[in-house]
Amino acid sequence: MESRFALQTLFSCEGRVALVTGGATGIGAACAEALGAAGAAVGIGGLQGGTGSETPVSPGAAAQRLRTSGIRAFGVDADVTDSDQLADAVACVERELGPIDTVVAVAGSSLDGVRDDRLVDLDQMYALNVRSVVELSDLVLPGMARSGGGAFIVMSSLAGLRGNTELADYGVTKAANAQVARNIAVKWGSAGIRANAVSPGVIETEFSRPITEDPDRSVIRRGKTPLGRFGIPAEVAGAVVWLASPSGAFTSGQNIVIDGGTLVND
């Protein structure tokens, strides 16, 4: 008889249907792959990911890559800030894979300093980083509750937990989306739904290249990180699998910081 503490039991997502927004590249792609490797069917929703030196990848192409690894996956193009496209994406994933019981809301961006009009940038970041998460929760949580519960995971950021200069307004929106997770945990807990935020520090992705590939800035940031290095996407994805799996069944309303100790450094 297999022990209830066996890793394949504690961290299994077998039978789950997960929707990962922003799951084509970076942290989102790592989360989608990790959930699939743990047994979940994975829907990837969002726009084509990849900028700069990173090769653009569509949700469909990302899903195809997972299917070649034996993971049941489906990708759908959707601007998560567009209400109709977001609703269609949810409907498409459920039609192809079944009722969604796990959500990882990764889609997000920083627009700090992109335009001269700071408030326009702030409004767009709020629509992407906060409003789309609220709207997604409204779309999936009632069905999740009817099915007996599930997990709703919001990708927040270390920037939402401390003051910032370059990522000031991005940090405001990330503080807000972590609060969305806490609110969901309180409102929907009685229906068996767990909600948590995950706040990465500097992770080696396209998003963080301005830090990780700048010799001076990278030295400074690593010096402020007790572990002395940057994280990798798999280290964030591992926490997501934990929160989605039976091992995370009594964890809700939390903000899990994955930053190598940066936040607590003196």
Phi, psi of 227 (to 5 degrees): -75, -10
10 Å Cβ neighbour count for 165?
A: 7
Question: Does the active-site annotation cover 126?
Answer: no
24 touches 64 (CB < 8 A): no
Catalytic annotation, pick one of 11, 74, 170, 207: 170
Place of tokens 């970076």: 26
150 touches 144 (CB < 8 A): yes
Residues of 177-187 as b/e, b for ≥16 C-beta within 10 angstroms? bbbbbbebbee
The 8-class DSSP code of residue 122 comes to: H
85 touches 79 (CB < 8 A): yes
CA angle 219, 224, 227 (to 5 degrees): 90
- Annotated active-site positions, please? 170
